[in-house]
Structure 1
Amino acid sequence: MPDWSYHPLKKLLLNKLHAKTSREFLHKSMSTIASTPGGRSVIGFLGHMNPPRELQQNIYRTKFSSPVGLSGHIDPNMSGLNAFQELGFGFLEIGPIVLYGPSDKKEPKWEKGKLLFSNQQEKVPLKLVIKKLTRLNIRIPIIAKIDAQVTRNEWEIIVQHLTPYVDAFIGTPKQIHSYITNNRSQCLDRSFYMSFSPDELDNNNIQLIDLTQHSCIGGVVINAPRQTDGSYWYEATHAKELLTKTIKRVKALFPELIVITSGGVETPEDAFSLVRAGADLFMLTDGYVKAGPGLPKRIHERLLYEEIQPINNQNWYWSFLFGLSILIGGIIALYFAFTSIILPYDEAFIGLTKADILQVNPLILAFMSHDRMALAGTMISGGIIYIQLARHGIKYGMHWAKITFHSAAIIGFLGIFLFIGFGYFDWLHGLFWLVLLPIYYFSFREGKKIIDFPASSHGKNDRTWKLGLYGQLMFIILGFSIIVGGIVISIIGVTNVFITTDVSFLCMSPQMIDTLSNNLIPVIAHDRAGFGSALVSVGLLVLMLSLWGFRKGEHWIWNTLAIGALPAFIAGVGTHFYIGYTTFIHLLPVYFLIILYFTGLVLSYPFLRKK
């Protein structure tokens, strides 16, 4: 569930439910999607959230693809474990784990915009943990937190049973010290992390010097300071600042010690502050619930912003030429749609000249003109978007821009097979694709080495960002709607060809048109199918551009959507008024798309256009 869907749903529904009810609904829904065939690909397509390779690190023989982890507080029942590894996390904490299920526990709750956790924390029995871990295909590290109240014997049983399934353990200093003292020869299989609060370190209750004496100790987990509210607790207001000071003090004394934090992160800037202070890994808690599932990805982009080297421009000229060719092809098609409408080879196939058709029913040529104008406008829009992706995405090595560019281009090429749905092959279209093929081949080759991830300096969860999410949602719906419309028009083009309002406008039934020439409807069908396939291609461009390109200050994204959509809308609406085909129900889908377009532009303007 990306942020652009999470926040509208959270505002309308989730905040009105019990915290546990909304949590389980989200986690089980995401986990169900991840478990179905193709579900992981769907999550990846919507979020594009894989961590960049620059953030990978190895700690004690364990590979962490990202320093961002998720605290066990967020998913104590492990309902969403299968989905979280698809959302960009580098590791997951589970627990606190007990040997047997607890007799009583209180659910978390929302109160005055805060997520309150019960002092009687939800705990996970060992049996459930083993059941989950054996059934799921977990591909990222798992760190098991053992409950502070378990006995020494229970601790040893839990560690013994979980060692094959987890990569590290978290416990209290007393628990870990007792275990490694009695199991010094066995504790080398997994690392152990001692859990502290900043107050415990400040009061010198635990001497950190002891940590360096045991090779089994992996490091420390510093928990965000808490404030109590009756039988509940929540993170302190200045948790991040206190964590930062504690990390600096620990790192100053023990530079090589691995430091993991839990909590204190609600924005990408918070995460960057902890990393800059010396945190090696950090776990998200209630900040993840407030910010949304896109927080790991945004943190990656903020951290990557500090890591990036001067950009070496990639080859992008063939991709630019491909977009330019489609743009020019659309302009040429628009010219013919306004002038001759049908070309000599069309007349030869139909068996009627333009004058003959005009004499019988001039509305037939007007109808054909409106399909060809709409196709031309769509091609021009597609060409503009391809050019912008080449200039601002592929040029700078953006992997998401390459995927967007080539996915839409391949779908566009495959659309040529729809042209012959009724037995008519447009030689001009065929020649156009033959010219494009070598250009696209070189464009595809120059994009093979493009693997970079985007970076962003934006680190706040401000109002501008939230407005941008709603604008992003509008454009995502727009792109998806265009794809659906293109599929419907393509199907109509290769089946019935006409809809009811078409017949009303022409004042002729398909049977009557067929009596004029058996080849007239195939020509019209080829126009419709071609227009439909072009819509699918452009819809993919808009959808993927909106899914993956929205970042603070990316003004070229706003410009591309604003300028790129205009030719298609102007041609789509203008041609209907030009020929007098203004039936409201026929144009209603286009009006809906225009509303989405303008609403998206207004809402996303502060986020994308302002620096």
Structure 2
Amino acid sequence: MPDWSYQTLFRPLLFRLPSAAARDFTLRAMGGLSRIPGGSFIIRTLGHMELHPMLRSDRWGIRLSCPVGLSGGLDPCGTARQALSQFGFGYIEIGPVSVRPIADPRPILRDVAQEAIHYPDAYVNIGLDETVRRLSKERGRRLPYLIRIAHHAGADPEQAIKEYLQLMDQLAPYAAGFVVDAIDMDWKPEQINSMLQSIREAARTRYPDKPLLLYLPLDSSPSLWDELCSQDHSAQWDGITIGDFIRTEEGAVIGRNGKADCLAKIRMIRDTLGPSIPILAAAGVHEPQDALDLLGEGADYIQLHSGLVYSGPGLPKRVNEAILYKRTVLSPDPGPFSFWRNWGWMCLLGLGMVLGGVLAWIIAATTVILPYDEAFLGMDPLSLSLINERLLYFMSHDRITLAGTMISIGILYGMLARFGLRCGHHWAKTALATSGIIGFGSFFLYLGYGYFDPLHAAAAIILFPMFILSMRGRADRPSRQEPNLRNDRAWRLAQWGQLMFVVLGFALALGGLVIAGVGISYVFVREDLAYLCMTPEMISQINDRLIPLIAHDRAGFGGALLCDAAAITIIALWGINQGERWIWWTLLLGGLPGFAAGFGVHIAIGYTDLLHLSPAIFAFLLYIAGLILLYPYLMGARGSSIVRTKVQHRG
């Protein structure tokens, strides 16, 4: 459920449901998808949550793939933990976990205007036994777990200590570290200090390899912190986690407004404990700029909760991109790769596709049939025209649409090579590799009816080495273009534009499969035969080699369309980034030849059956709508807020 589907389709529907029902439905759906074969691959593919090595850190002996974590309160039952681990997180917080389950029948409420969630009780959880049971059943865990443990309300300090030790004893096999949520506002500071010291000493003895982090409530008073620090116990923790909720008379509120209190807490901790102790900030991150503000103030890691609900599941990826960009601009620019290293070969391949498409268009619009086609048929164009003048028109229609698609592919390849592969972008190389494999593989479709096309074979022999040479080397450089930081109107419009092009890509892929399938099986659809005023049997009676020749054209066009669709789909899924003007021009220029060829030839030959043209009309509407909606986002000017952000992050 990436942002382009969440913001446009799912969020409006989910927000019509009660909050708890919407949450449970979403988590069950994601969890169910992640457990089926290939489900995790689908999640990663749709969101492209690959984390760059520059985001990694080693803390407390734990390898963290990025500085973004998931708050435990978002998925209290662990229903979709496997799915959420694919979203671009470096670790997952589990909890709060208490010895006995805590439930509250009151509803969870949303405050959309304030981007907040009202929980009747922020400590609702399934209890220790059920948590252990579920953790014991997990397989193939990808991320480290920081387990937040809490005592029951009303417990005295002595009873609370027993509960914490019981929690750690049973959860230790599954925990990379513990977050101790033991600051009870109903206790006196000296009681809190004494209990924290007892917990810490017992944990150090029993589990010396497990880091212990102190949980600091977001709404705790500065005076309480001063009391805790006065006895110098707080500095003995391995880190501080700043909570994400503020208590109210009705329960607890988690939302965007928590950011100000979180910033104040970060400054307070840094002023008292200095720069060495790690801080995990868990409040108020609803867009990438919020995360940069917390990191710039002195936090080392951030956790997401309500931001995922209001901004979408793509938020961790966007935050990681903003952090990566900040680190990238501070490192030396290696410059683009040389022309002959890899991307130049792809540019030449794209140029070859464009020239080949132009040549094929000219031939299809004039003679239609090449000499080797005549030799195969044993008939010249004039003979075909005398039998049925629409036969040549129909063959021209297939060949011109193929030519337009070839030009589109060539433009896409050239642009992806010049602006993507040249800069070492992984997604651009993946788009080219996927599309190229499909394109060269589709050559075998031409042989489906036993017709060998020497021109296509010669083109493949010339272009395939260029494709191989263009795939050399690694493409893992981070982008040096500033990513989006705000959930502004341009970003929201872009989610709709991205949806249009994703749907377009999948629609073209489906169309390519159908056309290729028809080409190697039935060859004609009903509308084709109505246009020709002939049956397949009548065509075979004219020349039994005519259907194989037409089938070769149809299968070739289907394969080319599928190749084109693969590049467009990956661009739409992974390449949309604010201010990337070349992406908009790539989509515009890459689509024009295909649509011009498709509509132009149908009008020229009088093949204007509305049912036959309806898929092309639908695709064209998606194309135009996508370009309009993406224009402000891709063509607008970037800001420079990341550069201005204080660089204090050490994670």
TM-score, length-scaled by structure 1 = 0.96
Matched to 1:505, the amino acid is Y
The answer to whether 1:492 aligns with 2:514 is no
Pairwise CA distance, 1:395: 0.7
Paired position in structure 2 for 1:450 = 475
Matched, 1:348 2:375: yes
Bigger drift between 484-493 and 141-150 goes to 141-150
| Structure 1 residue 219 corresponds to structure 2 residue 239 | yes
Q: Residues 337 and 208 of structure 1: is their aligned pair in 2 closer, same or farther, counting only changes over 3 Å? A: farther
Q: Give unpaired runs (5+ residues) of structure 1.
A: none
Whichever residue aligns with residue 68 of structure 2, its letter is V
The farther-off stretch of 150-159 and 74-83 is 150-159
Change over 3 Å in CA distance of 1:93–1:429 after alignment to 2: same
2:148 equivalent in structure 1: 145
Superposition pairs for residues 551-570 of structure 1, below 5 Å?
Answer: 551-570=577-596
Show the counterpart of 2:269: 250
How much has 1:254 moved relative to structure 2?
Answer: 2.2
Q: Which residue of 2 aligns with 1:205?
A: 227
Structure-2 separation of matches of 1:410 and 1:237:
46
Match of 2:173 in 1: 164
CA–CA separation in structure 2 for the residues paired with 1:502 and 1:430: 28
Equivalent residues in 2 for 1:60-459, closer than 5 Å: 60-102=60-102, 104-113=104-113, 114-119=116-121, 121-136=123-138, 137-149=140-152, 151-171=160-180, 172=182, 174=192, 176-197=196-217, 199-200=219-220, 202-203=222-223, 204-207=226-229, 210-211=232-233, 214=236, 217-224=237-244, 226=246, 228=248, 230-235=249-254, 238-252=257-271, 253-308=273-328, 309=331, 310-314=333-337, 315=341, 316-445=343-472, 448-454=473-479, 456-459=482-485
The secondary structure found in structure 2 opposite 1:116 is strand
Instruction: Give distance in 2, aligned partners of 1:550 and 1:597.
Output: 15
Contact 2:244 2:283 in 1 (8 A): yes
Once residues 161 and 197 of structure 1 are traced to their aligned partners in structure 2, the CA distance between those partners, rounded to angstroms, is 25
Change (3 A) 1:199 1:590: closer
Greater mean deviation of Cα atoms: 97-106 or 471-480: 97-106
Q: Measure how far apart 1:210 and its partner are.
A: 2.4
Residue 168 of structure 2 aligns with an amino acid whose one-letter code is V
Kindly report which structure 2 residues correspond to 1:462-541, keeping only aligned pairs within 5 A, or say none. 462-541=488-567
Distance 1:345 1:210, change over 3 A: same
Checking the alignment, whether the CA contact within 8 Å between 1:194 and 1:220 is kept in structure 2 is yes
Q: For the aligned residues, what is the CA RMSD?
A: 1.7
List structure 1 runs of 4+ shifted beyond 4 angstroms: none
Deviation digits for residues 443-493 of structure 1, max 9, x if unmatched?
A: 112xx2111233534210111101000000000000000000000000000
For residue 89 of structure 1, give the secondary structure of its aligned residue in structure 2: coil
Aligned length: 606
Question: Which residue type is aligned with residue 368 of structure 2?
Answer: I
**Aligned partner letter, 1:126:** L
Alignment of 1:580 onto 2:606: yes
Q: Which amino acid aligns with 1:232?
A: G
8 Å contact kept, 1:227–1:235: no
Alpha carbons 2:256, 2:307 under 8 Å: kept? no
Instruction: Look up the SS of the partner of 1:95 in the other structure.
Output: strand
Residues 481 and 5 from structure 1, CA distance in 2 versus in 1: closer, same or farther, beyond 3 angstroms?
Answer: same
Q: Output the CA distance in 2 between the equivalents of 1:152 and 1:397.
A: 54
Q: Deviations over 1:357-412 (max 9, x none)?
A: 11111100000000000000000001001001001101111000000011000100
Cα deviation code 1:297-354 (max 9, x no counterpart): 0001111111113142124211111111111111111111111111111011111111
Equivalent residue, structure 1, for 2:647: none
User: Aligned in 2, Cα 1:211/1:64: closer, same or farther, shift over 3 Å?
Assistant: farther
8 Å CA contact retained: 2:218, 2:246? no
CA contact (8 A) 2:70 2:305 kept: yes
- The residue type paired with residue 308 of structure 2 is Y
| Worse-superposed segment, 431-440 or 480-489 | 431-440
Task: Describe the superposition over 1:121-178 as per-residue Cα deviations: whole angstroms up to 9, x where unpaired.
Answer: 3213112222222222211110111124263222211101111111111112545422
Determine the structure 1 residue equivalent to 2:187. none
Letter in 2 for 1:76: P
Contact 1:322 / 1:443 at 8 angstroms: preserved in 2?
no
Q: 1:480 and 1:526, CA in 2 relative to 1: closer, same or farther beyond 3 A? A: same
Closer/same/farther in 2, CA of residues 183 and 358 from structure 1, 3 Å limit: closer
Question: Secondary structure of the residue that 2:268 maps to in structure 1?
Answer: helix
CA contact (8 A) 1:349 1:519 kept: yes
Check the 8 A contact 1:330/1:376 in 2, yes or no. Answer: yes
Match of 2:422, SS state, is: helix
Alpha-carbon distance, 1:205 to partner = 3.4
Q: CA offset at residue 248 of structure 1?
A: 2.9
| Displacement of 1:425 | 1.0
Alignment deviations for residues 540-590 of structure 1 (CA, whole Å, 9 cap, x no partner): 111100000111111111111111100000101111001110011100110
Identity of aligned residues (%): 37
Residue 11 of structure 1, CA deviation: 4.1
SS at match of 2:450: coil
Pair 1:608 & 2:627 matched: no
Q: Which secondary structure does the structure 2 equivalent of 1:16 belong to?
A: coil
Q: Distance in 2 between matches of 1:525 and 1:2?
A: 39
Q: Give the aligned residue type for 1:156.
A: L
Q: Which moved more, 1:495-504 or 1:184-193?
A: 184-193
Closer/same/farther in 2, CA of residues 457 and 437 from structure 1, 3 Å limit: closer
The 2-side partners of 1:208 and 1:91 are apart by: 32
Q: Given the superposition, is the C-alpha separation of residues 92 and 105 from structure 1 closer, same or farther in structure 2, using an over 3 Å criterion?
A: farther
SS at match of 1:45: helix
1:558 partner letter = W
Deviation for aligned residue 1:98: 1.5
Task: Write the letter of the residue equivalent to 1:304.
Answer: L
CA distance in 2, matches of 1:104, 1:552: 43
Distance 1:495 1:70, change over 3 A: same
Q: Deviation at 1:514? A: 0.4
For residues 484-526 of structure 1, what are the alpha-carbon distances to aligned partners after superposition, in whole Å with 9 as ceiling and x for unaligned?
0000000000000001110011011111110111100000000
C-alpha separation in 2, matches of 1:436 and 1:103: 65
**Aligned 8 A contact 1:458 1:552 in 2:** yes
Look up the match of 2:571.
Answer: 545
- Relative distance call for 1:441 and 1:208 in structure 2 (3 A) is farther
1:597 and 2:623 are equivalent in the alignment: yes
CA distance in 1, matches of 2:613, 2:571: 25
Q: State the Cα distance separating 1:180 from its structure 2 match.
A: 2.4
Separation of aligned partners in 1, 2:65 and 2:413 = 32
Change beyond 3 A, Cα 1:126–1:7: same
**Deviation digits for residues 192-244 of structure 1 (CA, Å, limit 9, x no counterpart):** 11111355361123217624664xx211111246263x413324764323322
| 8 Å Cα contact 2:401/2:598 also seen in 1 | yes
User: CA, structure 1 residues 100+235, in 2 after alignment: closer, same or farther (shift >3 Å)?
Assistant: closer
SS at match of 2:179: strand
> Which residue identity does 1:244 align to in structure 2?
L
Which amino acid letter does the alignment assign opposite residue 313 of structure 1?
P
